[in-house]
Amino acid sequence: MELKIIKIGGNVIENETALEAFITDFAAVKGPKILVHGGGKLATQLAEKIGIETTMVEGRRITDAETLKVITMVYGGFANKNIVAKLQGNGCNAIGLSGADGNAIQAIKRPVKTIDYGYVGDVTGISEQTIDALLKSGLTPVFCAITHDGNGQLFNTNADTIAATIAVGMSNIYNTALYYCFEKNGVMKDINNEDSVIEHINTENYPTLLAEKIVTEGMIPKLYNAFEALKQNVKKVCIGNTKMIVENSQQKHTTITL
């Protein structure tokens, strides 16, 4: 059986209309499924309101104790519980989780090389049996991007990585498909033309896309993660906007396979 792991980012979470539309589409997705969400700017906004400065280094948030508290409140509380309540309102029996819940996602504090990211976790594993028990009970897990170390410490964690790790882990039990929803229609030949979606990327055409600089900076780590997931038994990775998850959707998107 196919298990879909669908990740949405800040662009969906932050925009009420976009979120409502996504919730309807996600609830209608057939078969077992897992949602992973980031929290976008909401955490930064709350941090500002209560006077906590957000420090970013190389695009990554430095998570001190106060920032972690804000993240736990905003991602683990506000965003997660509202998504779950809205899914319930659409007939999807969702259950909101952090990585600490059911020991679902384990992590270690990111080792300090040149930068100490603070309470940022690097994922080490998932509890696929527990996640599967939830799925088999008819529940749809909804994960926020928070993990734990098993010793009482929560971590801020990259949502893309969490989604990929869940897909890889669950591929021991299911055929897994990983969907990265973002603000673009997919990987595009021409970044200014939303119709120029490259529909298929695989290990054969990828080197050419790289060499011709069609795959640009920001997309390289996403595709790196995609190929890593595929090498670890994920069947396919799709990148595009949220409409690609709708059954029989004509929405163009990029499908990545080995």
Give residues in contact with its own copies (CB under 8 A). 46, 49-51, 69, 72-78, 80-82, 84-86, 88-90, 93-98, 100-103, 130, 133-134, 137, 139, 146, 148, 150-154
99 is in an annotated binding site: no
Nearer to its own copies, 95 or 178 (CB): 95
Select from 118, 102, 224, 226 the least CA-distant residue to 163: 226
156 is in an annotated binding site: yes
Nearer to its own copies, 126 or 134 (CB): 134
CB of 152 to its own copies, least distance (A): 3
Nearer to its own copies, 21 or 77 (CB): 77
CB of 167 to its own copies, least distance (A): 21
Select from 64, 127, 73, 71 the least CA-distant residue to 100: 127
CB of 159 to its own copies, least distance (A): 16
CB of 56 to its own copies, least distance (A): 22
121 is in an annotated binding site: no
> In this structure, what token pair is assigned to residue 7?
């990740």
CB of 157 to its own copies, least distance (A): 13
39 is in an annotated binding site: yes
Nearer to its own copies, 85 or 191 (CB): 85
Q: Pairing relation of β-strands 121-126 and 2-8? A: unpaired
Nearer to its own copies, 78 or 206 (CB): 78
d(CA 149, CA 122): 10
Task: State the binding site for substrate.
Answer: 39-40, 61, 156
